[in-house]
Structure 1
Amino acid sequence: MLFNLYDSDLEPIDRWETRKARVAEYIQWAHPDVIGSQELQSDQFDDLCALIGEEYASYGVGANDGKRAGDIPAVFYRKDRLQLIKAQTFYFSETPEVISKNPFGGKNTLTVCHFRDKQTDHEFLILNTHLAFGNIERRFYEACKLRDFLLNKKNQLPLLITGDFNTFPFRQELDLPFYDGDKIVRIIENGCVFDSFKCASFGHFGPISSTNFCLEKKKPFCSEGEPGIILDHIFVSNGIQVLSHGIDAARVDGHFPSDHFPVIVDVIIQ
């Protein structure tokens, strides 16, 4: 599962302090083996660890200082199902293994976790990230760095990439902030990975939109999104069979848990 958990400039009913219990309840109901989260701040990370920590362990560091400052692209995983063998954080920069800025002055990271499935003994990687929103050139740069990481990595284990890639499609009839999403997806797929939305054996379920932002009202938490606007993707490599892909617009106590819908895939690691 991937789940963007943004918390800023929201109505009181949708602020983190109010909705964190909804997030935890949804996760406990969905019961995913792995969760790639985006936009967590340190207080959110701490809260989520406390709420689901009995069943889930986690790894993630803040992009600003490699500790707790800035966005934390954290990975949560079921302790009874998965063993974390190794976890690393890489920067989208010219020096990815040290805390560093990209050429546009920002810091953004890629979380990489190496797991062993305790049931099957299969090993695999989870990569988790969140590409830049406001700067088209920076988003292009980060997508290229992700592609290069995929092409140059020495570890050839099967992998899944979870992330909010801000892939607004080329649909000029809609008032969208950007139109480069199709290009960003192609760049990432050039890293020898496949969009699970396109390759699921039993297809897709749920809305064909990954946010509840209402274009007419210009606000989140008030719709099931605009069909065709999928910002959040799970990419897979060879060695991963995708059975189904879903976007879940479920509510908890009548309210959405987040401004992004969770994206869920059912896979077999071969």
Structure 2
Amino acid sequence: MNEHSDILFLKDRFDLLGEKTFWLSKQPDQAGSRTWTSIFPRICTMVHLKDRETEQVFRVFNTHLDHLLSYTRTFEIRTIISEMQRLQKEATCPLILMGDLNSTLSSPTLQLLTMPENRLHLKPVYDSSAMFNTLHYGKGRLKEDRQPIDYIYVSEEFDVHSTRIITTCFNGLYPSDHYPVICHLVKKGNTES
């Protein structure tokens, strides 16, 4: 399986300052490595970007956590937190983490992201009115009693202006078996997004 967690950005607005893919294992720099409890190698991709319009520098992380075991997801999220902390020691900047996290907000895995001890000051972009299932298995069913498993977390430097789960169907088809999640972010103190 060739796992990838792409991050797309507008090259005419953002400068790429750095990029890295690391594996969610005990050897994060070893391509193809995995934790022994995961069937597939899992990765996280990071880009370090500079907004040409605002001069704002920030990092974006995209990942896809294990789909079977909560223990494995917890290990994987700890690996991501560790890499985020390492990069923040080198140069502090606002953070965005997104992806299919295969967990709900109340799970021990996602609770790790918002713990004060990790000093990343991350928060999910959802409010209660925007939350329902994001996994629909390609059938497009909405289940308001279900929480999403796809998330965007941002550091405290961002204000979240809006969040939406896109449920649009195109000619009877969906672009994925998950609904996409989008949000409108503005750096605190800026009027531009």
Identity in percent: 23
Runs of 4+ in structure 1 displaced over 6 angstroms? none
Match of 2:61 in 1: 127
Verify: 1:87 aligned to 2:19, yes or no.
yes
Query: TM-score, normalising length from structure 1?
Result: 0.61
Amino acid at match of 2:158: I
Distance in 1 (alpha carbons) for counterparts of 2:136 and 2:185 = 26
Given that residues 204 and 244 in structure 1 are in contact (C-alpha distance below 8 angstroms), is that contact kept between their aligned partners in structure 2? no
2:34 is paired with a residue whose SS is coil
Match of 1:13 in 2: none
Deviation for aligned residue 1:73: 0.7
Match of 2:163 in 1: 245
Distance in 1 (alpha carbons) for counterparts of 2:34 and 2:80 = 15
Q: For structure 2, which runs of at least 5 residues remain unmatched after alignment? A: 189-193
Tell me: higher relative CO, structure 1 or 2? Use CA pairs within 8 A at least 6 residues apart. 1
Deviation for aligned residue 1:152: 3.4
Distance in 2 (alpha carbons) for counterparts of 1:182 and 1:231 = 10
Verify: 1:103 aligned to 2:36, yes or no.
yes
Given that residues 194 and 236 in structure 1 are in contact (C-alpha distance below 8 angstroms), is that contact kept between their aligned partners in structure 2? yes
Structure with the bigger percentage of helix: 1
Match of 1:23 in 2: none
Deviation for aligned residue 1:256: 2.0
Match of 1:232 in 2: 150
1:197 is paired with a residue whose SS is coil
Match of 1:265 in 2: 183
Amino acid at match of 1:160: I
Q: In terms of Rg, which structure is larger?
A: 1
Match of 1:186 in 2: 111
Distance in 1 (alpha carbons) for counterparts of 2:175 and 2:142 = 13
Amino acid at match of 1:167: S
Please list the CA deviations of residues 39-84 of structure 1 after superposition, one character each: whole Å capped at 9, or x if unmatched: xxxxxxxxxxxxxxxxxxxxxxxxxxxxxx6111111111222221
Distance in 2 (alpha carbons) for counterparts of 1:262 and 1:183 = 24
Q: For structure 1, which runs of at least 5 residues remain unmatched after alignment? A: 1-68, 170-180, 214-219
Deviation for aligned residue 1:138: 1.2
RMSD: 2.1
Amino acid at match of 1:183: P
Give matches, 1:130-145, under 5 Å. Answer: 130-145=64-79
Equivalenced residue count is 180
Given that residues 158 and 186 in structure 2 are in contact (C-alpha distance below 8 angstroms), is that contact kept between their aligned partners in structure 1? yes
Match of 2:96 in 1: 160
Given that residues 204 and 245 in structure 1 are in contact (C-alpha distance below 8 angstroms), is that contact kept between their aligned partners in structure 2? no
Match of 2:191 in 1: none
1:229 is paired with a residue whose SS is coil
Given that residues 157 and 187 in structure 2 are in contact (C-alpha distance below 8 angstroms), is that contact kept between their aligned partners in structure 1? yes
Query: TM-score, normalising length from structure 2?
Result: 0.83
